[in-house]
Amino acid sequence: MEEELDLSKFFDNLWVTIVWDDPVNLMNYVTYVFIKLFNFSKEKAHKLMMQVHTEGKAVVASGTREEMERVVQQLHEHGLWATLQRDDHGRV
C-alpha cells in the first residue's frame, strides 16, 4: 500500500511578500531598495518596480512565514508598503 503524500504541511509553510504601489516613493528609489535588500539585478529590480507601478503590487519574495515577516519589516524600514500573505499553491 502506497503512503499518500500530505502536501498541506508543505504548502502551509509557503508565504509571499507583496510590495504595493504608493504615492510617496519614487520609482528609482523602489528599484534601489529591491537591489539593496534582495541583491536583484538592476533589470529584475526594475521589472518588479514597474509591476508595482502598473499593476499596483508585485510579489518580491517567498519563504516561511518567519522569513517573510523579516522581509516585510526590512521593506517597512525603507519606507515601502509591504505585506505578507500565505501563498495558496502559487496563487496570490
Overall average pLDDT of the 53-60 stretch: 98
40 in a structural domain = yes
34 in a structural domain = yes
Whole-number pLDDT of residue 6: 55
Above 70 in pLDDT, residue 57? yes
Number of H helices, E strands in the chain: 4, 3
Overall average pLDDT of the 17-28 stretch: 97
pTM of the model: 0.83
65 in a structural domain = yes
Q: Binning pLDDT at 50, 70 and 90, where does residue 65 land?
A: very high
Domain of residue 37 covers 26-86
Query: Strands, DSSP E only, in 15-86?
Result: 15-20, 57-63, 81-86
6 in a structural domain = no
Above 70 in pLDDT, residue 34? yes
Query: What total of structural domains would you count in the chain?
Result: 1
Find the helix packing angle between 27-38 and 42-55, rounded to 10°: 130
49 in a structural domain = yes
Overall average pLDDT of the 44-58 stretch: 99
